[in-house]
Amino acid sequence: MIDAAPFGAHFYELHADGRLIFTGHNRQSRALLGAHGPGLIGLPIEEAFPGLVNTPIPDAYRRVATSGEPFEKESVPYDRDGIQGTFEIHALQTGPDRMAVFFRDVTVERQAREDLRQHAATLRAILDGSRQLVFLLDRNRRIVDLNRLAREKTPVLFGRELKQGDSLPLDELIPFNEAIQDRFEKALAGEEITIEREVRRKDGATAWYVLDYYPVRAESGEILGVCVSGTEITGRRVAEDALRHSEQRYRTLYLNTPVMLHSIDPEGRIVSVSNHWLKKLGYTRDEVIGHKSTEFLTPASTRLARDVVLPEFYVTGVCRDVPYEFVARDGTVVEVLLSAIAERDEDGRISRSLAVIVDVTERNRSQRELAEARDEAVRAAELKAEFLATMSHEIRTPLGGVIGMTELLLESGLNGEQRGFVLMALQSARSLLGIVNDTLDYSKMEVGQLELESVLFEPRVMMDEAAELLAVSAQGKGVELYCRFDGRIPEQVRGDPGRLRQVLTNLVGNAVKFTPEGEVEVRAELEQRRPAEVVIRFTVRDTGVGIPPEGVGRLFRSFSQADRTVARRFGGTGLGLAICRQLVELMGGEIGVENTQGQGSIFWFRVPLAVNEIHTGRTHRVGGGDRRRRVLAAMPAAGALAALVEDLVNLGMEATGVTDAAAAVAELRRAAEQGRPFEILYLDDRLAGTEGELPAPIAEMLGDAGPRLLWISGLRGAGPATPGEASLRLTRPVRAKALRRDLLRMREQMGEGAPTGGSSIGSELD
């Protein structure tokens, strides 16, 4: 019977000397340990099984033989003669000092248990690494296991921490109702179910989970319970809710926005349209959705869309401000500007496009009406300009005759009272001519017909001519008018001298008009020099009443004056400065004013003028070869005197200036005593006596050996007759060309040769 047992058996006898002798074994033992078993009988256990030496097993066996205390050991390794294994042993007393050891090979069983343990550890690692909550429920809906994430979440979900092996009814988390009961029962019946459910946590907050129910089966197929896995989707649900609300708001905005919107599919069919679109064109939504957008366009707009816009739109995915014409339900045409952008799918194909449409019917109508009105206004302005040009010619022709005859009348022998009457008539005629010219120029500027000349001219001559036109007015008021010219400015430049003279005359005329006493200075300065042009700054400075601060901003506006009382006191149309500004800007320059009320004002403008290299030199000199001729100038006005001295120096003279007769006498005597006498004396007639006679000391110094006299007086016919024996005479304001002409004539009278410089200007004598 022992030989037939499914386990091995060894028998031992304990001798009095303490040796434990191997006495026998069964057949299964030979199968487990090999054929060497019979040869071990009679040997002590230490010799029979040397592998047991130094282990507690031999002593344990002795205790079993003597005391009957059983001994069990779960794992005993065996390795002998190529046989390896792990055994489970049970030792029992079989009689006095006798015992038996029963053992079986558990190698395969232990390996299976180890494999099962490792498999369970792997499954646990997988479960604990999952981002899902996993609960294992028995058939009574109680939790028998849960993964790491579930354990971490249970304090929040259940209000306390769960440990491995705890059991808790799931309905504490999700109160059972018929729906939950039904799903659980279906899972126990073998179905797999997925639901989304809102869960209220112990802290009162709510969360959303996706719950998967599936049955847990034994190897036999028996359903042992239900596994519930949960994935929190609160963030997703919040995002979905927000997206849903956003889409709802977008749809509400899309439908109700006060803008025409429509969206079309890749085939050009309308898939959505705003209420404003329907209201503008008068259609219902059913009449529009599913129809092609081109069905609502005029034939011309349909061709534009088909042939031009859509082919480009399918490539670029965008179009902006395309002018279309929609046909409303009642047949009226609505003009629009359409802008669209395409939406593309993952493959880059256009899936939909959204168009924003702006109704420009009224705007286009207004623009057309405005254009027609503008064209009509231009035609009217052209007719006005033509009329004014004709009238201006008809008015200026007799005015020119009046001015010419009045100037000739001044040359005749008139007494003082008659001269005053004639001067007033001349001034009035010239004022009327200025108003006519201003009106004509302004009308030409309005219609863009004013053109500029480009000719060579001498800027100093132009400036002198402008000043000379106002000389009568200035001298009639006792205002000193003079010009100062920068000698660095080229002798000739290219531009429009007539328009420059017009601007300068207007500014000088205003300065004289608003200066009751004092002086008006006209200055030209070289501001910038470039390879092919120069920038000249013209300045008109007066010592008049100035301009009120609130009036400065209105100066260059049409029909505007700084003070409303100006027109009543001084006359004028208020067009002069507006014309000046437009002329200067037309020439590429700028104009401005510097003002100190009560102390006068400074009007300035700068213009670029072309220049040729051949004309870039200084004013022609008239000096006597290498020797500079000594000149004395005597004038009572300091500003005019300084201007005269500058001109003389620019002409090559060595000039000295004084402001009264006594100083002139002193300078003449001092120069004679030093052996460097003055050769020419410029004497202002205002330094003469009451009858126009020369001061006696000066008269004594004039003669064959004394300086030559050039008399400076008022305009022709004004003031006393030329006193003394003056050989030549200049008029105020002194013109540079006249000054040079008289110097050349004086050289001829003194018997000197032609002037240096070789310029043709020497032959241009007035």
Q: Is 143 exposed, middle or buried (0-12, 13-18, 19+ CB in 10 A)?
A: buried
Instruction: Give the residue carrying structure tokens 């003194």.
Output: 750
pLDDT value at position 71?
87
118-122, 317-321, 662-666, 670-674: which has the minimum mean pLDDT?
118-122
The identity of residue 52, as a single letter, is L
Residues 6+ apart with CB under 8 A from 160: 154
User: Confidence class of residue 720 from pLDDT cuts 50, 70 and 90?
Assistant: very low
Q: Distance from CA of residue 543 to its chain's centroid?
A: 48
Which of 27, 61, 30, 29 lies closest to 44, judged by CA?
A: 61
CA dist., res. 20 & res. 74, Å (int): 22
User: Confidence class of residue 754 from pLDDT cuts 50, 70 and 90?
Assistant: very low
pLDDT in tens, 378-398: 787 777 767 766 666 677 678
* Mean local confidence (pLDDT), 65-91: 77
Q: Is 34 left (phi over 0), alpha (psi -120 to 50) or beta?
A: left
pLDDT value at position 79?
64
More confident residue, 33 or 744: 744
What are the Cα distances from residue 149, in Å, to 124, 154, 640?
12, 9, 106
- Indicate if the pLDDT at residue 560 is higher than 70: no
More confident residue, 557 or 715: 715
* Mean local confidence (pLDDT), 64-74: 85
More confident residue, 19 or 106: 19
* Mean local confidence (pLDDT), 337-345: 89
pLDDT in tens, 212-271: 888 988 878 888 888 888 888 877 877 777 777 767 776 777 777 778 888 888 888 998
pLDDT value at position 757?
40
Which of 516, 532, 525, 711 lies closest to 609, judged by CA?
A: 532
pLDDT value at position 136?
82
- Indicate if the pLDDT at residue 273 is higher than 50: yes
Q: Distance from CA of residue 652 to its chain's centroid?
A: 58
pLDDT value at position 37?
60
The identity of residue 209, as a single letter, is Y
* Mean local confidence (pLDDT), 347-365: 88
- Indicate if the pLDDT at residue 180 is higher than 70: no
What tokens does 66 get? 């003597």
- Indicate if the pLDDT at residue 445 is higher than 80: no
Confirm if 658 and 667 have CB atoms less than 8 A apart. yes
DSSP structural state of residue 569: H
* Mean local confidence (pLDDT), 364-369: 90
- Indicate if the pLDDT at residue 621 is higher than 70: no
pLDDT in tens, 529-539: 988 899 999 99
**Above pLDDT 70, what percent of the chain?**
80
pLDDT, the chain, mean: 79
pLDDT value at position 250?
66
- Indicate if the pLDDT at residue 732 is higher than 80: yes
What tokens does 714 get? 């008022």
Global pTM value: 0.48
In the chain, the domains with their CATH numbers are 8-105 (3.30.450.20), 111-237 (3.30.450.20), 257-359 (3.30.450.20), 367-445 (1.10.287.130), 451-615 (3.30.565.10), 630-763 (3.40.50.2300)
- Indicate if the pLDDT at residue 472 is higher than 90: no
82-96, 135-149, 505-519, 619-633: which has the minimum mean pLDDT?
619-633
138-147, 329-338, 637-646: which has the minimum mean pLDDT?
138-147
Residues 6+ apart with CB under 8 A from 214: 187, 192, 193, 226, 227
pLDDT value at position 147?
81
More confident residue, 474 or 627: 474
pLDDT value at position 477?
86
pLDDT value at position 128?
75
49-58, 461-470, 504-513: which has the minimum mean pLDDT?
49-58
pLDDT value at position 752?
60
More confident residue, 667 or 135: 667
pLDDT value at position 645?
92
pLDDT value at position 403?
82
The DSSP result for 372-417, as a single string, is HHHHHHHHHHHHHHHHHHHHHHHHHHHHHHHHHHHHHHHHS---HH
26-30, 182-186, 199-203: which has the minimum mean pLDDT?
199-203
Q: Is 664 exposed, middle or buried (0-12, 13-18, 19+ CB in 10 A)?
A: buried
* Mean local confidence (pLDDT), 518-535: 92
pLDDT value at position 541?
93
